[in-house]
Chain A
Amino acid sequence: MNGFLVSARHELLATRRSRTASILVIVFVALVLASAVIGWITTRTVTDVYEQIRAAGMTSAPNPFSGASPLYFARNSAIYVVLIGCLMAIVLGTEAGLRDRRMRTSDLVLTRPVSAVSRLLGQFAGLGIVVLVALAVSLAASWVVIAAITGGPLSADETLRIVGFGGISWVLLMAFVGAGILGGVHSRHETAALLAPILVWSAITFVLPQVGTAARPIALLNPVPSVAATGGGFDLASAITGPLAITEQYKRVGAYLLQDPSASGSAALAVMILLTVLIGMFAVVGVTSRRSLRRALDD
Chain B
Amino acid sequence: MTDFAIRTFELSKSYGGRRALDRLDLDVRRGEVFGLLGHNGAGKTTTVSLLTTLLAPTGGDAEIVGRSVARRADVVRRSIGYLPENVRFYDDLTVLENLRFFARLSGLRRPDPRIAEVLELVDFTGHDREKVGTFSKGMRQRVGIAQAILHQPEVLFLDEPTSGLDPVGVRSLRDLIVRLNAELGMTVFMNTHLLSEVTKTCTSIGILRQGRLVHHDTLDATLRRFPGEESLEEIYFRLDAAVAS
Contact = CB atoms under 8 A, between A and B. Distances in A.
A13 B84 contact: no
Contact of B104 (A1, A14, A99, A111): A1
A141 to B, nearest CB: 28
For the residues of B in contact with A, the DSSP-based class is loop
Interface stretch (B2-10, B85-93, B164-172): B85-93
Nearest to B88: A104
A107 B84 contact: yes
B187 to A, nearest CB: 16
B77 A99 contact: no
Interface string B62-83: 0000000000001101101010
A156 interface: no
Given A6-B104, A6-B105, A13-B97, A111 B80 contact: yes
A107 B85 CA distance: 10
B109 interface: yes
A114 B107 CA distance: 10
B47 interface: no
Interface residues of A, number: 24
Closest 9 CB pairs of A and B: A17-B92, A112-B105, A104-B88, A6-B104, A111-B82, A113-B77, A111-B52, A107-B84, A10-B101
A109 interface: yes
A18 B12 CA distance: 41
A111 B77 CA distance: 6
Nearest to A104: B88
A114 B105 contact: yes
Given A108-B84, A112-B102, A112-B106, A13 B78 contact: no
Nearest to B144: A108
A3 interface: yes
Given A3-B105, A104-B84, A108-B147, 18 more contacts: A6-B101, A6-B104, A13-B93, A13-B97, A17-B92, A18-B92, A103-B88, A103-B90, A103-B91, A107-B52, A107-B82, A109-B105, A111-B54, A112-B102, A112-B106, A113-B74, A113-B77, A294-B54
Interface in B89-122: 89-93, 97, 101-102, 104-107, 109
Given A111-B52, A111-B53, A111-B80, A103 B105 contact: no
Interface in B38-57: 52-54
Nearest to A294: B54
Contacts of B93: 13-14, 17
Contacts of A276: none
Contacts of B84: 104, 107-108
A115 B104 CA distance: 14
Interface in B7-34: none
Contacts of A17: 92-93
Interface residues of B, number: 27
Given A13-B93, A14-B90, A113-B105, A107 B54 contact: yes
A198 B77 CA distance: 37
Nearest to A122: B105
B82 A1 contact: no
B137 to A, nearest CB: 13
Which of B52, B80, B91, B101: most chain A CB closer than 10 A?
B101
14 contacts: A1-B104, A6-B104, A14-B93, A103-B89, A103-B90, A105-B90, A108-B87, A109-B102, A111-B53, A111-B77, A111-B80, A113-B74, A113-B77, A113-B107
Nearest to A2: B107
A51 B179 CA distance: 86
A227 interface: no
A109 B109 CA distance: 17
B88 A105 contact: yes
A222 B53 CA distance: 52
A108 B140 CA distance: 13
Contacts of A3: 105
B223 to A, nearest CB: 33
A110 interface: yes
Contacts of B80: 111
Contacts of A99: 90
B199 to A, nearest CB: 28
A81 B92 CA distance: 28
B69 to A, nearest CB: 11
B67 to A, nearest CB: 12
A18 B133 CA distance: 13
Contacts of B88: 103-105
B193 to A, nearest CB: 20
A78 B1 CA distance: 63
Contacts of A9: 104
